[in-house]
Structure 1
Amino acid sequence: MLWLVIFGSGSIVASTLAQNTPKATPELNKQETASVALDGRTIFKVSNSEEFDAQQRASLINSELKETLESEQSVLVRVEQGDRLPTLWLNDQYLMTVTERDSQAGYTVEEQARIWAGLLQQSINQGLRERSIPFIKKASIRALAILAWAFVLHWLIRQIWNGVIHRLLRRFWPLSDSQDTHQASRSLNLISSLGLTSARLGLWVAVILYIANQFPLSRRLSYQFGGTLTSTFTSGIIAFGDRSYTIIDLLILGSLIWGLVLTTKLAADMLRSRVLSIAGISRGAQEIISVSVRYVLIIIGVIVLLQIWGVDLSSLTIIASALGVGIGFGFQDIAKNFGSGLVLLFERPIQVGDFVEIGEHQGTIERVGARSTVMKTLDEVSIIVPNSRFLETELINWHHDNPVSGLRLSIGIAYGSDLEVARQALLDVARANPDVLATPAPQVIFTGFGDSSLDFDLRIWVAQPRRQVIIKSNLLYQIDAIFRERQIEIPFPQQDLYLRGQLPLDISAELKSLLLQLLQYQQQNGFRADSSSLQPKPDSSETSP
C-alpha cells in the first residue's frame, strides 16, 4: 500500500507538471529578461531595450561590475538624470540606463533607478568585504567545519538507515523464509540501497553548494554552471503535437515509469507470496498469474501515464514503426526470447519447480522471466538459459504432468552365480529403500550375457526426480553390502591366454632346409657359420675362461 500511495502521488504531480508545461511557441521561448549578477548573486533583472536585448544588456553590466570589483577600490553608485531616462554610474563610469520596460509595477523609472542603485551599492560593498583576508579565513574555517560534519553525517545516515528505515520497510513488507519471496527480498534490498545512496548524495550536494557559496570565485563559477545547467534542462528538446518537453519533463516521466515497473513487481511478488501461496496453487500457476498481472499493470500504467502527461498516443505511431523495424533487425534475438517466454508461460512445457534436463545441464526451474529462465543445478549453481532454447531443443521434463519418474541401474554378476539369489537381493534392496515407490513395483530385468558378467537392470520409480543422484548412490551402497552378505561376486573384465605346443620347439623339414641354405649363402660371402649355429649356445656363466 505504501508504494501505491507513492506512485499515486507521483502521478498527481506528473499531471500537474504536464498541464503547466508551456507550449512550443516562439513568444514563450524568446527571452525577455536577463539577470544582473555579482559574484554569483542575482541583483535584479533587466529587460530588452531599443538597442540591445536583455541578455546583451546583462552581459555588459556584469562585465563592468566584475572589472570594478577586481580593482578593489571603493565604489559609489549614483543616479543621474539623462535627457529622458535616469542612468546609473559607478564613480565616474557609466553603467546603464533604466528604461520604461525595466520599471516594475507601481514604480516610476526614477524610483526604480534609485532602488537598483541601492542594491548595486550593497552588493559591491559585500563583494569587497568578501575579498578581505579576515573574511576568507572565517569562510575557510566554516568550510572545514561543515566538511567534518558531513563525514560524521555520512556515517550516521548509514547507521540510522540500517537500524530504523530498513526495519520500517520490512514492516511494511514482511517477508517469510520461503524461496518464493526471494525476489521480493531482493527488491526491498534494492530500494533500501537506492534510498541510502540518495540520502548520502543529497547530503554531499548540499555540502558542496554551501562551501561553494562561501567564496566569491566558487560562487560565481557555481552560478555560471547552474545557469548553463538550468538552460539545458529547461529548454524544449522534443515536441509531440503542440507541446514541447524538456529534459526535466523526460526525467520525471522516466522516473514515474521506473516507479511503475518497480511497483508492479512488488505487487506481483506480494500477490504470489501472500495470496496465491496461501490458496494452495502450484508454483507454476503462481508464476503464470503473477507475471501476467505484472505485464497487464505495466501496459495499463504506461498508457495512463502518457495520457496524463498529455502525449497523444497517435503521434507515437512513427516511433512505434521505427521501433518495430529496429526489433526486427537489431533485437530479433531479444524479441524471439520474449515471445518464447510468453509461450512458456501459457503453454507450460516447464513450470517453476520442475526438474528438467536440457543439453548437458540438469536442474530445477527457479524462475521463468520475460527473456530468460533461471535453472538451479544439482550443484546449487544458477544457470540463465534463453527462453528460445526450451522450444528449439529437446527438453526432458521429469515433472511434466506426473512427477513419478523411472530410474535404471545396470548391475553385472559373475558367471556361475545363482541368478535367482541375485534377483531377490536386488528386489530386497529396492523395497527397503524409502525413496523407492512401491507402485509401480521395482523390477529386475535380465538383459543378457556379457563378456565377463551376467547383466541385469534394476528398474525403480521415484517421486523426487531431482534427488535421483542421491537415490542411485544409496542403492549402489546397499547393493554392494547385500552382495557381500550373500556371497554374490561382481566380476571385473579379464582375459586368459592359452599357448599350445611342445618345448623345445620342433622345426619342420622345410624350415630347416631354408635355414641351411641361408647359412651356406653366408659362408660363400665371407661369413663363418656351421651347423652348430642351429644349436642353442651355452650360457656365458657356465663356460670356463
Structure 2
Amino acid sequence: MVSLPQRLGTWQRRICSLGWGAFLVGLLLSIACSTYAQLLSFETAPVVIDGRPLFEIAQTNQINAEERAEAISQELGERVASDTEIFVTSEIRNKAPVILVNGRYLMTVTQNDATAGGAVTARAQASAWAKLLNRELEIAQQERSKEVLRPRIAIATVALLIAAIVHRLIGYIRRLLRLLLERLTAPQEGQPPAGLNLLLALLLSLLRLGLWFGVITYITNLFPFTRRWSYFLRRQVLVGFLEPNLRLGQNEFSILSLVVLMGMLLGVVVLSGVFTNFLRSRVLRLAGINRGSGEAISILAKYSLIFIGVVVLLQIWGLDLSSLALIASALGVGIGLGLQNIAKDFGSGLILVFERPIQVGDFVEFGQFQGVVERIGGRSTEIKTLDQISIIVPNSRFLEHEVINWSHRNPVSRIRLPVGVAYSSDPKIVQEVLLETGYQHPQVLSTPAPRVFFTGFGDSALEFELLVWIANPPKQLIIKSDLYFAIEATLRDRNIEVPFPQRDLHVRSGQLPIEVSTEVLKHIKQLQDGSDHLSSKN
C-alpha cells in the first residue's frame, strides 16, 4: 500500500512535469509565431487588369513589389488590348516555376509569392495563377466588345436616373426629420435649433455625396477604360484618408478617423442643444419655473453636457488629454493676443448666468435701445426691440456699461407723463382729471395709486406730472399713448386748454421817413466825392 507522503511526491513530480511541458510548448509556439511573422514581413503589391486586382505578389531581391506588379500589369494590359487570343501557361525553368503568356515570359513565381497567395509551393501557386489569368483575360477582352458595352451604357443611364430620384428623396426625408425634431423639442417661436439645422444639412450633404460617389464608382466599374482611373483614385483616397499619418501624443490617427471624431463632437453639441430645448420646453415649463430661471438652468445643462461628452469622446478615441497641453498652450497664447475679447465675452456670459443681473424675458434699456432679452448665449445676448428688431450685444458690454433693467426682481415700475395746461386753468380740476384718467386705464395698477405733481410754472403753461405704476414694462409706450389720448379727450371735455409756446413782439413808435443827422450826411458826402475823384483819374 502506497503511503500518503509517496502519493504527494508522485503528484508533485507530475505537476512539475506538466509545468515544464507547458513552458516548452509555449516557447515553441512563440518561436513558430515569430518565424511566421518574419516570413510574412515582406512587401506585397496587387497585379491589376483594367482596375480589377487579381492577386498579390511579393518583392524579390532585385525589385520591389510595387515596381514588379506595375510591370506585370502593364504587360497584361497590352495583351488584352490586342485582338489576338491569349493563352496563359506555367512551366519550370531553371528549377523555378514561371508563367508564360502566348509562350512569352511574364513572371517567375517565388516562394514568397506562394506565401502571399496562400499556396504551399511556388509551383502550385504558378498553376493557380495561370488558370486565374486565363479566365480574367478572357473576361477583359469580352468587356471591350460592343455586345457588352451597349447594355452597360443602358444600365449606367438607369443608374443615373435612380440616383437623381434618390437625391430628391433625401431632401424630403430631411424635411420630415426636421419637422419631427421641431415637434419633439418645441423650441421657442417655432424656430428650429441652429445646431440641429447644421447637423441635418451636413447629414444631407454627406448622404448625397456618398450617393453620387457610389453611383459614379459603380458606373466607372462597368467599363474597362474608366475602371482603371476609378481604381487609381480609390486607392489614392483610401491611402490618404485611412493611413494613420497624424500623430497626437502616443497614438497615430488617420484623416478619416479625425473627420469622424469631428463629426461626433458636432453631434455631441447638437444633441446637447436638442436636450436643452426639450428640458426648457417640456420639463421646466411643466415644473412652473419662470422663463429666466429656466433659461439659466438650460444653459448650464447644455455646457455641462458638452464638456462631459467631449471629454468622454476624446478618452474613448484614445486621445490622452495631457497630450493636448501643447495645443492648450498655443490656444492660451492666441487668446492673450487676438482672442482676448472673445474670451472676455465668454467669461461675461458665465457671470450673467450665475449672477443673473439680466434674464431671458427681462425688459432692458441699453444705450438708445429698449427691448426684451430673448437669449443669453456663451458669447453674446440677443435683445428684441419694440420694433421687433433683434440686436446682438456682446456679453462684456452688459458688465462694462450701465443697463436699466425694468424687470429686475420685480417687474412693477413707474412711468411719468408730463402735462402742460393754460394759466387760466384750475390746478385742482387738472389734478382731478389726471387722476381719473390714470385710474380708468386697465393696465395701470391701483396699488401703488397714481399720483399727480405740480412741477412748476413754465413759459407758456402750468406744468403737471402724472405718475402711474404698471406691471408690464415692455408695453409702457402703448400705455403712455393710451393715457395721453385719454387726457387730451378729458381736458377737451372740461374746456381746459393745452397751450403752445407764444412770443409777444413789441414795436416802438417813430417817424417815417427816418431822420438822418448832419454828421452822417457830411460823412456820406465825403465818401461820394472821393469815389468821383478816383473815377475821373481812371
The TM-score range, normalised by the shorter chain, is 0.7 to 0.9
Alignment partners' CA distance in 1, 2:164 and 2:318: 44
Aligned to 1:174, which of 184, 204, 207? Answer: 184
Secondary structure at the counterpart of residue 408 of structure 1:
strand
Matched position secondary structure for 1:342? helix
CA distance in 2, matches of 1:256, 1:524: 102
Name stretches of at least 5 consecutive residues in structure 1 with no aligned partner: 1-26, 528-545
Q: Is 2:415 the partner of 1:407?
A: yes
Secondary structure of the residue aligned to 2:442 is coil
1:419 match:
427
Partner of residue 245 from structure 1, selected from 231, 253, 263: 253
Letter in 1 for 2:184: P
Q: What's 2:25 paired with? A: none
Shift of 1:262: 1.8
Matched, 1:74 2:74: no
Task: Check if 1:236 corresponds to 2:244.
Answer: yes
Q: Aligned equivalents of 1:130 and 1:74: distance in 2? A: 14
Q: Deviations over 1:265-303 (max 9, x none)?
A: 222222222222211112221122222122222222222
If asked which structure has higher relative contact order (CA below 8 Å, sep 6+), I would say 1
SS in 1 for 2:506: coil
2:472 is the counterpart of 1:464: yes
1:361 offset after TM fit, Å? Answer: 1.7
CA distance in 2, matches of 1:260, 1:417: 71
Partner in structure 1 of residue 157 of structure 2: 144
Identity %: 46
> Structure 2 CA distance, aligned partners of 1:247 and 1:520?
103
Match of 1:277, SS state, is helix
* Corresponding position: 1:296 with 2:304: yes
Say if 2:247 is the partner of 1:226. Answer: no
Corresponding residue for residue 476 of structure 1:
484
1:47 aligns with 2:58: yes
Corresponding residue number in structure 1 for 2:44: 33
1 CA distance for matches of 2:419 and 2:138? 102
Residue 99 in structure 1 maps to residue 110 in structure 2: yes
Matches within 5 A, 1:78-477: 78-103=89-114, 104-159=117-172, 162=175, 165=177, 169=181, 174-176=184-186, 179=188, 182=191, 189-477=197-485
- In the TM superposition, residue 485 of structure 1 has moved relative to its aligned partner by 0.9
Judged with a 3 Å threshold, the aligned counterparts in structure 2 of structure 1 residues 247 and 187 are, in CA distance, closer, same or farther, namely closer
In 2, the alpha carbon distance for the partners of 1:31 and 1:251 equals: 32
Contact 2:383 2:390 in 1 (8 A): yes
What CA distance in whole angstroms lies between the structure 2 residues aligned with 1:503 and 1:160? 96
SS in 2 for 1:487: coil
CA distance in 2, matches of 1:519, 1:168: 97
Report the Cα distance in structure 2 between the residues aligned to 1:289 and 1:213, rounded to whole angstroms.
56
Map Cα deviations across residues 352-402 of structure 1 (whole Å, 9 max, x no partner).
111111122211111111111111111112221111111111111111121
State how far apart, in whole Å, the 2-side matches of 1:516 and 1:232 are: 106
Give the letter for the 2:67 counterpart: Q
By how many angstroms is 1:224 displaced? Answer: 0.3
CA contact (8 A) 1:127 1:216 kept: yes
Separation (CA, whole Å) in 2 of partners of 1:39 and 1:262 = 45
Distance 1:74 1:441 in 2: 110
**Residue 59 of structure 1 corresponds to which residue in structure 2?**
70
| Separation (CA, whole Å) in 2 of partners of 1:523 and 1:138 | 115
Whole-angstrom distance in 2 between the partners of 1:526 and 1:53: 115
User: Which has the larger helix fraction?
Assistant: 2
Amino acid of the residue matched to residue 286 of structure 2? I
Choose 42-51 or 237-246, whichever is displaced more.
Answer: 237-246
CA distance in 2: counterparts of 1:493 and 1:398, whole angstroms = 34
Does the CA contact (< 8 Å) of 1:181 and 1:273 recur in 2?
no
- Do the aligned partners of 2:448 and 2:469 also contact (CA within 8 Å) in 1? yes
Instruction: Please state how far the C-alpha of 1:90 moved relative to its aligned partner.
Output: 2.1
Residues 431-483 of structure 1, C-alpha deviation per residue, up to 9 Å, x if partnerless? Answer: 11111111222122222222222222221111111111111111111111111
Alpha carbons of 1:365 and 1:524: their partners in 2 closer, same or farther (altered >3 Å)?
Answer: closer
Task: State how many pairs are aligned.
Answer: 492
Question: For structure 1, which segment, 308-317 or 468-477, has the greater mean C-alpha deviation from structure 2 after superposition?
Answer: 308-317
| Partner-residue secondary structure (3-state), 2:68 | helix
Q: From the superposition, tell whether residues 135 and 452 of structure 1 become closer, same or farther in structure 2 (CA, over 3 Å).
A: same
State the 1:241 CA deviation: 4.4
Gap change, CA 1:149 and 1:55, over 3 Å in 2: same
Which letter maps to 1:140? I
Q: What CA distance in whole angstroms lies between the structure 1 residues aligned with 2:428 and 2:184?
A: 60
C-alpha contact 1:183 1:269 (8 A) present in aligned 2 = no
- My pick for the range that moved more, 422-431 or 314-323, is 314-323
Deviates more, 1:347-356 or 1:268-277: 268-277
The answer on whether the counterparts of 1:236 and 1:245 sit within 8 Å (CA) in structure 2 is yes
Q: Supply the distance in 2 between the matched residues of 1:520 and 1:235 (Cα, whole angstroms).
A: 109
The Cα shift of 1:512 comes to: 4.5
Aligned residues of 2:199 and 2:267 also touching (Cα < 8 A): no
CA deviation vs aligned residue, 1:193-249 (integer Å, no higher than 9, x gap) = 444444433332222121111111221111100110111112222224443211122
> Aligned-pair distance for 1:326?
1.8
1:522/1:361 Cα in 2 relative to 1: closer, same or farther (>3 Å)?
closer
Q: Deviations over 1:290-332 (max 9, x none)?
A: 2212222222222222222222222222222222222221221
The question of whether the paired residues in 2 share the 8 Å contact of 1:180 and 1:273 is answered with no
Name the amino acid aligned to 1:221.
Answer: W
In the TM superposition, what whole-angstrom CA distance separates every residue of 1:158-217 from its partner, at most 9, and x where no partner exists? Answer: 445545x556656xx6355x7287455x55555554444444333322221211111112
Q: What are structure 2's unaligned runs of at least 5 residues?
A: 1-37, 533-538
CA distance in 2, matches of 1:429, 1:35: 95
RMSD value, Cα: 2.7
- Alignment partners' CA distance in 2, 1:519 and 1:207: 105
Closer/same/farther in 2, CA of residues 395 and 217 from structure 1, 3 Å limit: same
